[in-house]
Amino acid sequence: MASMTIVCQWNSVSQAFLHDLQNPSLLDLLALERTVPRAEMAGTALGRKIRSARMKLERRLKNAATQLEEFEVTESELRGIVETRIKSRLGMAS
């Protein structure tokens, strides 16, 4: 029997996203927030975009919850929907 060597390159999820994204959506940025190293979050343009996406999400969730209050839709239910979308974007099971 002969031996075989296979060369592979491992990339983190954030590296794969970064490679594929030129103009990330808010959902992409929220998914990246979970995979980007802390140092990259602190001082890069990507980190600023991710923080901005998080702030937009918070504002929009509060506004949506206020508008849907009459229909008994809670902010936590809306957060659950967003969480499911983020996990889906990351390729994680819910």
Give the pLDDT mean for 30-43.
86
Asked if 50 and 33 touch (Cβ cutoff 8 Å), the reply is yes
Give the pLDDT mean for 62-83.
96
- Reported as a pLDDT band with limits 50, 70 and 90, residue 1 is low
pTM of the predicted model, to two decimals? 0.70
Q: Is it the case that residue 69 has pLDDT exceeding 90?
A: yes
pLDDT at 42: 83
Cα separation values, 64 from 20, 55, 57, 59, 79, Å: 31, 14, 10, 9, 11
Residue type, 5: T
Give the percent of the chain with pLDDT over 90.
Answer: 49
Written as six digits, the tokens of 82 are 């967003």
Give CA–CA dist 94/89, Å, rounded.
Answer: 11
Domain residue ranges in the chain: 13-90
Q: Looking at per-residue confidence, does 17 or 82 come out higher?
A: 82
Q: Which residues touch 19 (CB under 8 Å, ≥6 apart)? A: 11
Give CA–CA dist 32/49, Å, rounded.
Answer: 10
